[in-house]
Structure 1
Amino acid sequence: MITTIEFMGIQEAMALSPPRTGAMISIVDSAHNPAFTLSGWSEIKYFRFDDLVYLPLENPQYVLFDEQMAREIVDFVQDLHALEHPITLYVHCMAGVSRSGAVASWIGQEFGIPLPDYFLARAKPNPRVLSLLRQASESL
């Protein structure tokens, strides 16, 4: 079961040594090159979407977080939470503020897991990500 949630930026995630009882949700921008991978994690889920609430008409090449991605995160987190051993779930995005903050916020609310002390000072959860995660978990 997930007992701890940590969220961070990409640089912090790259510096981590994967703990034996850790899992990762990795979020990068759609244009992030080269393709980003973290090695050594036994459980990891990768996502590529931009930190937007809506798709700007003047720049449509961005990728919005969508219902399918929300469903994948919900399924991944529920599978982790169903495990018998304690798990620390790490969530990273580029800056460790908005997208990872939204995922961490949803997990904390959904499963009653306390968020890190630094959450209120650092997180500014992306409202689109948070809303779609809530909708995906309610549709079960």
Structure 2
Amino acid sequence: MIESVAFMSEKAACALEPRPGTALLSISNPGVHTVPLQEGWSPLLRVYFPDAGCDAGMLNFLGGYDKYLALGFPNHEHALAMRAFIESLRQSSSPYHLLVHCHAGRSRSVAVAKYVADLCSLPLEGDLSRLNETVLNLMRDPYYYAPVGYAHQVQLRPSAKHRLLRFFGLAR
């Protein structure tokens, strides 16, 4: 179960000592570096996506959702991973304090913390005025920006492992 949630900057998260009963969700920019967190965080989830937004205009400009995905912007895959991590904490019999960080601690981490606070009926302290609306929308509905039917298509696609096995003739 999640007892509390808070958001912070990367710098603040790096300075923290891991504590029993505290989980960390680390959001970093892709390709920059791995955030040098103190050893011993458990549970810990690291996800990588830029602090970017999405709307119909952006999708049209890029040429569709698949092009948007290829650029590594926040998308359903990130949201599904974070939601699974959060759900595992919620279903745990152990109580957890969840900390969420991003680079500045003002946008992506705030959106994820707001989602958790709403989901678990928890208070959330701090400035919420600059939260990343795209990330919040994706947390609420991972396929928010995907074309109609996209979620169904994704579920029907064979896994990468299955495609490789088929390629080498080891599966049908």
Task: Tell me if both proteins adopt one fold, taking TM over 0.5 as the criterion.
Answer: yes
Q: Does 1:90 find its partner at 2:89?
A: no
Structure 2 counterpart SS, 1:130? helix
Q: 1:97 to 1:133 in 2, by over 3 A?
A: same
Q: How does 1:51-66 map to 2 (within 5 A)?
A: 51-54=51-54, 63-66=72-75
Q: Does 1:77 find its partner at 2:76?
A: no
Contact kept, 8 Å, 1:26 with 1:93, in 2: the verdict is yes
Q: Which residue does the alignment assign to 1:36?
A: 35
Identical pairs, percent: 31
Q: Which runs of 5+ in 2 are unaligned?
A: 63-67, 144-150, 152-172
Q: Which residue does the alignment assign to 2:13?
A: 13
The alignment covers a number of residue pairs equal to: 133
Tell which has more relative contact order, 1 or 2 (C-alpha 8 A, sep 6+). 1
Q: Does 1:136 find its partner at 2:135?
A: no
Structure with more of its chain in strand, by fraction: 1
Q: Which residue does the alignment assign to 2:25?
A: 25
Q: Which runs of 5+ in 1 are unaligned?
A: none
Match of 2:131 among 122, 125, 136: 125
Q: Which residue does the alignment assign to 2:158?
A: none
Structure with more of its chain in helix, by fraction: 2
Q: Does 1:100 find its partner at 2:109?
A: yes
Contact kept, 8 Å, 2:75 with 2:142, in 1: the verdict is no
Residue type matched to 1:71 in 2?
L
Within 1, Cα distance between the matches of 2:27 and 2:18? 16
Q: Which residue does the alignment assign to 2:122?
A: 113
Structure 2 counterpart SS, 1:136? coil
Provide the alpha-carbon RMSD of the alignment.
2.4
Shift of 1:66: 0.6
TM-score by length of 2: 0.70
Contact kept, 8 Å, 1:49 with 1:62, in 2: the verdict is no
TM-score by length of 1: 0.85
Worse-matched range after superposition: 62-71 or 2-11: 62-71
Shift of 1:41: 0.6
What is the CA deviation profile of residues 92-133 of structure 1, one whole-angstrom value per residue up to 9, with x for unaligned ones? 0000000000000000111111112x2xx3552101100011
Within 2, Cα distance between the matches of 1:9 and 1:62? 24
